[in-house]
Structure 1
């Protein structure tokens, strides 16, 4: 390096040599995953080296749990029994407001601030696809014996024969042996209680008689562009029948907090979707309905004026339907909102017609993962409780506070998390919107988040995503010579060896229990026992 001066400003010249070399192929660097589902190419404190480490983790958990008493002062659904405030028990969850603060009311009529946990399925971890990339794995679980349940085929609605394995399930089988399904189910129940959770959240199964938030899908309903054509009576019938079948006997289940249909961004009607519909044949019911709506609300019923504005020239109704309107952005947005209003209204009305007793929570939009803020307003208009997901460092921020107040509905966060990245040393991905350095850093985020959620007058609860870490090679579906397929983040409260992350779990317990008490203090409700 040489420094030269020209006048008063120095000029720095730097010489460097660069050598390029071919990066190793996946095959040359494999295997990436050890026999316990961990990253092979680095080491860290607490990494599992033998099966004895997994079993020792179970003993440590029993020791810690013995020092943590179970929460007291709650009914079986998580409602406080010591407030002096009791609503009428209806046999189902509902909401009520007290001193300006919203609360869930349990089936027994007790007020509740809900703390939930996502993706709980005892002993079952998210499986990773193995087709055409077997070389990534040092060893795969036996297909017979206790580990047989680690294998699966044709998941995620893909029926192309893809095989999957769960190292988490294999490790649970190592931990408990043949009786792993029963013992892991008992472990889940104890963890939920000891860690301060009211119950479960989304994506759960296998834990009866615990509150939960079931998810209804519409994979079996035909889409027009990205969503079902709810303006088509035939599609409406298929959609309604599907929802009714999925709900089944759940309409009688007091443990269900509320229903939701779909999840996050895929449930948003997009601008591009509307433009695509406008290129379809004129007989498509959605196209006709969208055109009719804007013709009557913007152009006072004049097809000639609409045709001029849309580049079709003065024209009649049939020509509008059969043409390919190049509508201005304001008209496209009006169509988009109209479609979204009808779509959300149909889902809400169908769910409530089948089940008038349970809450309807909407479709969990993520603030910012949408076309514009109107998507929050429309969602809030068509639900009992505004369910949303949020991956951010804070529970709310000014623009979201404004939307919450405008909606004037109780809110429930269905997913939040701060997945540790561990400086990339453990093979996990770095989440794009929010991540933490390690478990202790995630614990700091969690404490702040829970404190803020409990203080928010509209919030009736929050749910953490998720129970256990994802596979470092991804959760699928897919195949081929790639290292990661879909998500591979360290979201979990437990690792791939079913061991609690104690720095995080300790904060989770303390924060959950504090929030379930502090909520009442914020509302000016005195508890007889804390």
Structure 2
């Protein structure tokens, strides 16, 4: 995710982050309680038996899967269906994937053209993974006039091998006469400007897999409408009553929740409460200065972090030779900014931009997505403003030490990526860093949300060399620096994606020239290539000028070979450049946002640690590069809820703060169980701005602290519960 954008599911036409949850009052858990504030497009045409229950809080089954259902008339895309019975329940057994169909799946049309689900909160379906690989599956809900991101919503889940899960798609809606809102990715309940449907007119539901690299098999059952939709009091507000809707602290004005700041005095009271909390929880007693396991085994001390396998599990080893697990948080900084331009009426009160807080205003450049794309909006940083109210004029001096004190108290051992460099320089908490550079990109097409790198262009590596020398000048010999990431969520996609993107790029693309030369060396004559590819190129020059995608199945062997060559070149060059500048730092990879086996296996040859951004329920059984025995780190993960703060729960939404705390503990416990994982870094320290961050309008409740600098008590308690015991847990001593 991070500074760039991230999505976890896509139907090929729309993002699947359209999830909304009802509000719920929560309270912090047990002994680690924070003592501050408590507050497819192909239609199933066979007969479907409808169940129509009375409209109540009970679930409504959308249809029944009968054992004698005739499947001969069913039309599916790259999947086959059959009816099976398991544990007394009939289910669709779905088998498909492993081809170049991006979104294999099937569609179920509503009988009589629609389901009226206006009284329901969400549509759910139970999924069971029958495969030995992690399953990535999604469900899309459509109106009759759906297209792209209009009049449709979707949601998805990851299901571990042999595991079960439930897809939940919340019926995001827009009330008649709702004000038009801009510059935000998610919206107040009932006021969505995009990514919503008319729940009274659901015409079809679509199950699909997300670009599976091999054939997979799973069950779909118990497809139902669930939960009772409760209208929020503000949903019927017209513009004259709704605006402004952001208060002087950057919070939503028309809703209350435990812990919401009402005044500057509230903030100062929270400060005192947190100081008392620090006295009770100064940090784990068994940690050394780096956060390593002081009470555990002693390995070789090298003065830098390195990896080692101990007791059947991979570990980091700190500079003093102690075992170390990287329980981290990314983006530890004082940012929570939002654009003001074109929507000044959204805000109750903004300080004078030429006054005392003038440094908190800035102009955002290089906006590539959302309402402000290609614009330069004036922005204001509510996060920093609130810090100044809470801690006074010297808040900047206090912020770094406070953040480190919090991390230690919370059982967090690492400053994750994109954290403030000045905090890293305090040498209180180990950190990871990265190199940001300006590569040449493949011009053929954009995959996922960005273009892939031209790894054969000399300019790519000239930029990385220059930037690495600059970015790593302070950290190369710093014992507190664990290692270096380069790039984030590159669009590796399928084993042919990079090669296809290359072959349709312009003739002056260096990577394309290399690819064509490889093909010349193999086939000698263009007619020999034409025969294999089923193509009609008149010459090699015609291939070089071509911008049409080849028949992937016929050209697969050559496409896969070049994708692998690209990966080999990429990881080899990055490693050499990083190690030339920082030989004692771990090369932590490129932060894969999927399995990408062909690339991951090559990464394993060159990376000291392979990195993944894994937004899923569990990583306990996650296989690194398809099952290789080497260390890996989770660069990003999170869960969010909508009972407090911003309007979206990020990439993994749960019911409320209690559920968030519960799944936090479960996720970290899974990472500690996994023998290959040497760390997991939560994304991120702060909530995003309620009214949307400048880059593209993301406004997720994904922080450890809210926009007013109040820690989320339940999440803090969960982090302490797993963090304080993590070394004993990983070493198999929990409870002893």
The TM-score bracket by the shorter chain reads 0.7 to 0.9
* 1: CA distance, partners of 2:494 / 2:485: 17
2:170 maps to none
1:128 maps to 338
Within-5 A mapping of 1:229-244: 229-244=454-469
Contact 1:269/1:340, CA 8 A, preserved across alignment: no
Inter-CA distance 13–388: structure 2 relative to 1 (3 Å threshold): closer
Inter-CA distance 323–99: structure 2 relative to 1 (3 Å threshold): same
1:504 correspondence with 2:724: no
**Out of 622, 629, 634, which is 1:408 matched to?**
629
* 1: CA distance, partners of 2:286 / 2:559: 53
Within-5 A mapping of 1:263-412: 263-266=488-491, 274-294=499-519, 296=521, 299=522, 303-310=526-533, 312-313=535-536, 317-324=540-547, 326-329=549-552, 330=556, 331-367=558-594, 372-397=596-621, 400-401=622-623, 403-404=624-625, 406-412=627-633
**Out of 194, 207, 216, which is 2:435 matched to?**
216
Q: Name the structure with the higher helix share.
A: 1
SS of aligned partner of 1:443: helix
* 2: CA distance, partners of 1:189 / 1:439: 24
**Out of 426, 433, 438, which is 2:656 matched to?**
438
2:401 maps to 186
1:43 maps to 256
1:31-50 CA-partner distances (Å, limit 9, x unpaired): 12111111011122322111
Q: Name the structure with the higher strand share.
A: 2
1:354-394 CA-partner distances (Å, limit 9, x unpaired): 222110011111226xxx54343333333110111111111
* 1: CA distance, partners of 2:256 / 2:178: 22
* 2: CA distance, partners of 1:13 / 1:442: 32
1:152 correspondence with 2:362: yes
**307-316 or 506-515, which deviates more:** 307-316
Unmatched 5+ stretches in structure 1: 1-8, 478-484
CA displacement at 1:52 relative to structure 2? 1.1
1:260 maps to 485
CA displacement at 1:161 relative to structure 2? 3.8
SS of aligned partner of 1:251: coil
1:399-453 CA-partner distances (Å, limit 9, x unpaired): x33x45623210111111111122xx6442243x421222211110011112121
* 1: CA distance, partners of 2:361 / 2:467: 29
Contact 1:361/1:387, CA 8 A, preserved across alignment: yes
**Out of 294, 308, 318, which is 1:106 matched to?**
318
* 1: CA distance, partners of 2:359 / 2:256: 28
1:429 maps to 648
Contact 2:645/2:706, CA 8 A, preserved across alignment: no
Inter-CA distance 272–31: structure 2 relative to 1 (3 Å threshold): farther
1:140 correspondence with 2:330: no
* 1: CA distance, partners of 2:51 / 2:645: 44
CA displacement at 1:211 relative to structure 2? 1.1
Inter-CA distance 145–333: structure 2 relative to 1 (3 Å threshold): same
CA displacement at 1:311 relative to structure 2? 5.0
1:82 correspondence with 2:300: no
Choose between structure 1 and 2 for higher RCO, CA contacts under 8 A separated by at least 6 residues: 1
**Out of 515, 518, 530, which is 2:726 matched to?**
515
1:449 maps to 667
* 2: CA distance, partners of 1:229 / 1:138: 47
CA displacement at 1:234 relative to structure 2? 4.1
CA displacement at 1:85 relative to structure 2? 2.5
**Out of 272, 294, 301, which is 1:59 matched to?**
272
Residue correspondences, number: 492
Contact 2:668/2:722, CA 8 A, preserved across alignment: yes
**Out of 470, 485, 492, which is 2:703 matched to?**
492
* 2: CA distance, partners of 1:13 / 1:447: 38
Inter-CA distance 337–146: structure 2 relative to 1 (3 Å threshold): farther
CA displacement at 1:276 relative to structure 2? 4.5
Inter-CA distance 34–270: structure 2 relative to 1 (3 Å threshold): farther
CA RMSD of aligned residues (A): 3.1
1:117 correspondence with 2:310: no
Contact 1:141/1:167, CA 8 A, preserved across alignment: no
Q: TM-score, normalised by structure 1?
A: 0.84
CA displacement at 1:11 relative to structure 2? 10
* 2: CA distance, partners of 1:366 / 1:312: 34
CA displacement at 1:156 relative to structure 2? 5.7
Contact 2:686/2:702, CA 8 A, preserved across alignment: yes
Inter-CA distance 52–155: structure 2 relative to 1 (3 Å threshold): farther
Contact 2:360/2:384, CA 8 A, preserved across alignment: yes
Contact 2:452/2:490, CA 8 A, preserved across alignment: no
**340-349 or 508-517, which deviates more:** 340-349
Inter-CA distance 294–355: structure 2 relative to 1 (3 Å threshold): farther
1:24-68 CA-partner distances (Å, limit 9, x unpaired): 344543212111111011122322111111111111111222112
SS of aligned partner of 2:432: coil
* 1: CA distance, partners of 2:364 / 2:492: 24
Contact 1:172/1:180, CA 8 A, preserved across alignment: yes
1:167-214 CA-partner distances (Å, limit 9, x unpaired): 121111001111111122221121011111112111101212121111
* 2: CA distance, partners of 1:426 / 1:13: 34
* 1: CA distance, partners of 2:323 / 2:276: 33
Contact 1:294/1:334, CA 8 A, preserved across alignment: no
1:95 maps to 307
Contact 1:465/1:492, CA 8 A, preserved across alignment: yes
* 2: CA distance, partners of 1:161 / 1:320: 41
Contact 2:612/2:634, CA 8 A, preserved across alignment: yes
Inter-CA distance 278–138: structure 2 relative to 1 (3 Å threshold): same
1:447-492 CA-partner distances (Å, limit 9, x unpaired): 1112121121111111111111110111123xxxxxxx43111111
Q: TM-score, normalised by structure 2?
A: 0.62
**Out of 418, 440, 463, which is 2:639 matched to?**
418
